[in-house]
Amino acid sequence: MTDLSVLRLRPKSKPQAIRHGFPWVFADEAVLDRRTRAMPAGSFAVLEDAERKPLALVTVNPNSKIVGRVMDTDPQAVVDSGWLRARLMRALHLRERLYDAPFYRLIHAEADGLPGLVIDRFGDAAVIQPNAAWADRMADDLADALVDLTGVSTVILNGQGRARGLEGLEERMEVLRGQAPTEPMPVPMNGATYLADLMGGQKTGLFYDQRPNQAFAQRLAKDATVLDVFSHVGGFGLAALAAGASHATCVDGSAAALELARGGAGRMSAADRLDTVQSDAFKAMEKLAEDGKRFDLVVCDPPAFAPAKSALEAGLRAYERVAKLAAPLVAPGGYLVLCSCSHAADLTAFRNASARGIGRGGRRGVLIHTGQAGPDHPMLPQLAETGYLKALFFRLD
C-alpha cells in the first residue's frame, strides 16, 4: 500500500475531532474533486487537514455520506492480513475474558477498530456483516483470520440490511468457509437456550446486545406471567422461563422467529409454559387489553423506529404509542420494560417519550433501572451511534 491517495479536509472542517478520536469524515467535510470521486469504494487513503498535515489512514467510499472512516491513527499503517489479525486478536482477548462460552459479538465496528464491520460468533461458526466497502472487499482475508485465530470451521457472510444500501453495496449471502448450517444453531445465554438461524434470520441470526437486560429482567420474572412483545426468537420470554416464570407469551410478526422461540423452549423443557402469537404487535396489544389480560412483567423490544435523524419525530411517537398500549397490560405493582435500538433517539428523548406513553395509558410508575448493550458491544465515546441500545425498567402502580 504505497503511494496512497489523499483525502483532504475542507478549510472550515475541524481536524481536532479526528485527532480526538471521532472516526468519520462526512462528504460535506472533504474535498470531493474529480480525483477523489474516482477512488474505488473501499480503497485506502491518507487523511490530511486543510494545511496538508497527515491525520490518519482512512478507507474511502465516494458513494457514501461517510466518505472516510478512520482505520488507523498512523497515516503510514498498512492494512494487510497482519493488521487484521492484530485487531481481531485484541477483540478476541476481551471477549474471552468476559465470557466463558464462545457466544458473543466478536467485532463491534468502530469501537473495535474495524469500522463498518460486525462479526458475531456462534460457537464453531462466525457470521460476518461487512457494512463498509473495505470490509466487503477484504471478506476472504477476514475469514482466513477468523479461522486461524478462533478455530471456527464455518464463516458466513451476511451482506444484507439498510447499512449496506447506504454504502452503495449490493446484498449478498455466502458461506466463505465450511458448510452452511442445515439446522438452527443452539445458543446458551442467561440459562436459556435460543435457536439462531444463521442463514435466514434477522441480522446475524440472534441479538446478543440484550444479554444484560434480559438478565436483569430475570430478577423480576420468577413465578411471574410474562408478555414479550416484538419477541423475535424469544429473547426476553425464554430468559424469563429460564428464571422460573410461570408462563410467557411471545408476540412477533414473524412465523419463522416464533417457531425458533418454540424450539428453544422445547430444548429447555419449557414448551408447556410458552404461548406464541403471530401478529402485528400494536394490534396484539390492543386485543389483549380488550380481553382484559394482565401480566406481571411486560417487555417491548421493537425494531428501530428512528434509524436516522430524519425519522426521529415519527419514531418517538411510535415509542410513545408502544408505552401507551403496553402500560395497561401490566398488573398492579408489575413491571414494564421498554427498549429502543434507535441511535437517533438518545436516552433522554426515549425516556421522555416512554413516560408520556405510560401516562397516556392511564398508569404511573417509577424507573428502577436503565440498561444498555453488553460489553461485547463496546461504545466508542466519540461516536454516539455505538451507544444505540436503551432499556428502561419501570415498576407501575
Active centre residues (catalytic): 341
What CA–CA distance (Å, rounded) separates 256 from 274? 16
Give the Cα separation of 173 and 122 in Å (integer). 17
3 state DSSP class of 189: strand
> Which residues pair with residue 199 across a beta bridge?
none
Full strand arrangement of the beta sheet holding 365-371: 274-278, 247-252, 225-229, 295-300, 330-340, 390-396, 365-371
Q: Do the bridges between strand 172-177 and strand 185-189 make them parallel or antiparallel, or are there none, so unpaired?
A: unpaired
Task: Give the integer Cα–Cα distance in Å for 287 and 325.
Answer: 10
Phi and psi at residue 396, in whole multiples of 5°? -100, 150
User: With left for phi above 0 and alpha for psi between -120 and 50, is residue 24 left, alpha or beta?
Assistant: beta
Phi, psi of 236 (to 5 degrees): -80, -35
| Backbone angles phi and psi of 66, in degrees to 5 | -95, 95
Burial level of 74, CB count in 10 A (0-12/13-18/19+)?
Answer: exposed
DSSP state of 86: H
Q: Are 91 and 105 in contact (CB under 8 A)?
A: no
Tell me if residue 331 falls in helix, strand or coil. strand
C-alpha cell at 48: 490530511
Regarding beta strands 225-229 and 192-196, do their DSSP bridges make them parallel or antiparallel, or are they unpaired?
unpaired
User: C-alpha grid cell for residue 136?
Assistant: 466487503
Q: How far apart are CA 241 and CA 349, in angstroms?
A: 32
